[in-house]
């Protein structure tokens, strides 16, 4: 009997959703590479809007941690407040209402907390999770690195923003490609990933 074919992790606009996790004011001066992470997440949001990919936004205890930072560009999105270290309980109804959903693209903070637990909860539901590595960070780079490795061990896909964007658009003949090309013309800003991974390859095997 042939072995089951492993999931290839393809993403398509019609079966994907973008999750934006807890990119709030109080994290601005504590999370490593915060401006770069926000810049990449904002790029993902712009692409999602162009391709009509739904977007969900959460805020962790906003009374204490403040609102979502304005430069993310989430005008028109209603943030869902939460205290759980996972987005899934707050978004349960939304997930249940989308039977066609297959892939979740995940951006935000912190990698070892809400990103990791959201990933595990989504995998538990049978969904594919694509962690946008250049749009996720932590206060500690050790926590960030080990969380990425932990998510990969559990079955999540680690992807860059540009890799996912090009998968979503699929073809240079796509009617929105010219607009998307403008967004990715400049490489994503450096968020320390190269230095993070150098010498740590064993964690990512």
Determine whether 82 is an active site residue: yes
What is the Cα–Cα distance from 178 to 65, expressed in whole angstroms? 37
Domains of the chain: 13-172+181-189 (3.40.50.850)
Element (H, E) at 137: strand 128-137
Look at residue 1 in the predicted model and tell me its pLDDT: 42
107 is known as an active-site residue: no
- Residue 2: per-residue pLDDT: 47
pLDDT (0 to 100) of residue 5: 54
* DSSP line for 66-132: -PBPGGG--TT--PEEE-SSSSHHHHHHHHHT-TT--EEEEEEE-IIIIIHHHHHHHHHTT-EEEEE
103-109 vs 16-21, strand pairing mode: parallel
Among residues 21, 107, 114, 136, which one is catalytic? 114
- The pLDDT value recorded for residue 188 is 94
32 is written with which tokens? 């490593």
Task: Determine whether 143 is an active site residue.
Answer: no
Instruction: Per residue of the chain (205 residues), give pLDDT as tens.
Output: 445 456 899 999 999 999 999 999 999 999 999 999 999 999 999 999 999 999 999 999 999 999 999 999 999 999 999 999 999 999 999 999 999 999 999 999 999 999 999 999 999 999 999 999 999 999 999 999 999 999 999 999 999 999 999 999 999 999 999 999 999 999 999 999 988 777 655 565 5
Residue of 21, 22, 107, 136 with catalytic role = 22
What token pair was written down for 64?
Answer: 């204490």
> Coil, strand or helix: which one is 103?
strand
Q: What does the pLDDT read at residue 196?
A: 75
Can you give the pLDDT at residue 53? 98
Catalytic residue among 82, 107, 121, 136: 82
Identify which of 152, 153, 100, 146 has the alpha carbon closest to the alpha carbon of residue 131.
152
Work out the number of other CB atoms within 10 angstroms of the CB of residue 153: 11
Q: What is the pTM of this model?
A: 0.94
């Amino acid at each position: 009997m042939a072995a089951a074919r492993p999931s290839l992790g393809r993403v398509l606009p019609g079966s994907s959703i973008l999750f934006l996790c807890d990119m709030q004011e109080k994290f601005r001066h504590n999370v490593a590479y915060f401006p770069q992470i926000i810049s990449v997440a904002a790029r993902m949001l712009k692409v999602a809007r162009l391709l009509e990919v739904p977007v969900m936004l959460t805020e962790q205890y906003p009374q204490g941690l403040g609102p979502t930072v304005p430069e993310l560009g989430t005008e028109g999105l209603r943030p869902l407040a939460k205290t759980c270290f996972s987005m899934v309980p707050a978004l349960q109804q939304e997930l249940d209402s989308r039977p066609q959903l297959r892939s979740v693209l995940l951006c935000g903070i912190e990698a070892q907390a809400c990103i990791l637990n959201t990933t595990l909860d989504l995998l538990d539901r049978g969904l594919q999770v694509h962690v946008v590595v250049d749009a996720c960070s932590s206060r500690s780079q050790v926590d960030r690195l080990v969380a990425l490795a932990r998510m990969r061990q559990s079955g999540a896909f680690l992807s860059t923003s540009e890799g996912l964007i090009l998968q979503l658009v699929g073809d240079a003949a796509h009617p929105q490609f010219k607009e998307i090309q403008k967004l990715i013309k400049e490489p994503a800003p450096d968020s320390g990933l190269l230095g993070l991974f150098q010498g740590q390859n064993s964690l990512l095997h």
